[in-house]
A = this chain, B = another copy of it.
Amino acid sequence: MGDLLGVAVLGAGHMGADHIRRLDRVVSGARVVAVADPDAERAKEAVAAIAGVSVHTEAEAALAAPGVEAVIVASPGPAHEEALLAAFARGLPVLCEKPMVPEAAGALRVLEAEARLGRRLTQVGFMRRYDEEYRGLKALLDGGRLGRPLMLHCVHRNVSSPPGFTSAMLIDSSVSHEIDAARWLLGQELTSVTVRRPRPSSGAPRGLLDPQFVLFETDGGALVDVEVFVNCGFGYQVRCEAVCEAGSARIGDDRGVLVTTGGGAGAAVPQDYLVRFADAYDREVQAWVDATRLGRVTGPSVWDGYAASVVAEAGVRALESGARVPVEPAPRPDLYALDGH
């Protein structure tokens, strides 16, 4: 590809700062060129390690900054509508964190604005669609091997809810992930919703109706149920089981997609080391690039490379002789004395 994509990031809070770090340190092909936050100090801090980023307190100013070719909207939800409309006005592609717009009325205004443009500019930040397990489940459902999906059983648990979390937010903030995931996995729209709830957990803040149990019907004749429990205390768990006419498939417990059909219950086994260790290769090279840019050398050393050769040669002799073969390396140079493996 060609030059790096110039990105303005709106919002330098938790999520915005994380996206800035990601663009700078993880993702290939883009660079942060502008940042906006009402708190200028916070904005400066978020880009302190990056050269050449203009800092603004107004979203509009960041969008107008030199070099901006695209926008990430990571400001608080109530600011999204204005930010999206401003980006549309400039024709800038947008990655907008969820909720796109908190209220359906405002979301509809954004929808109508983009529809008037006649082309999509926006990718909404429903990140589960990019999770390996969700993608595996989606591919499985789309492939048709399990037949028509009948039900999705979903679980969404958080250790604890942040301050100010309300009973409604269990649905419009937490369950909104399952709403999108269900629509995406099934390719169907949700048509009704029923909510039941047990007596709240004593682990939930007083007055918060937590947990809740939400039951959707879809226009394709499927059911979707969601346990949402944001003060479960024991972990962050996201599970989804699709029950289909010819089998079921579950994610969130084990590696990959656990499929149950007439043949048994099980998961695919990777067929190739590039699949199994794809992330390891990526991290290896990223670690090398990062260290090298800092003038450092880390990771497996030449001593490690040498040791592997010496041991392997002894192993081949052991294979040939059937005997126990000692491994006898040269002395370890001081340079490698403290590499601590």
Contacts and interface: CB of A to CB of B under 8 A. Distances in A.
Contacts of A304: 100, 124, 126, 180, 183-184
A264 B150 CA distance: 24
A276 interface: yes
A310 B216 CA distance: 13
A186 B280 CA distance: 20
A280 B114 CA distance: 26
Contacts of A108: 306, 330
Interface of A is mostly: mixed
A182 to B, nearest CB: 9
Given A198-B150, A305-B124, A25 B50 contact: no
Using C-beta atoms within 8 Å of the partner chain, give the interface range for chain A.
35 or more
Interface string A292-307: 1100011111111111
Contacts of A158: 273
Which of A50, A51, A132, A271 is most buried by chain B, counting CB atoms within 10 A of its CB? A271
Nearest to A19: B285
Interface string A22-52: 1111111110000000000000000001110
A287 interface: yes
Nearest to A115: B333
26 contacts: A25-B28, A26-B282, A27-B28, A27-B285, A72-B285, A100-B309, A114-B335, A115-B334, A119-B335, A131-B279, A131-B280, A132-B279, A153-B227, A158-B273, A171-B312, A172-B316, A176-B308, A176-B312, A189-B327, A193-B315, A194-B318, A203-B245, A212-B319, A214-B318, A225-B225, A235-B271
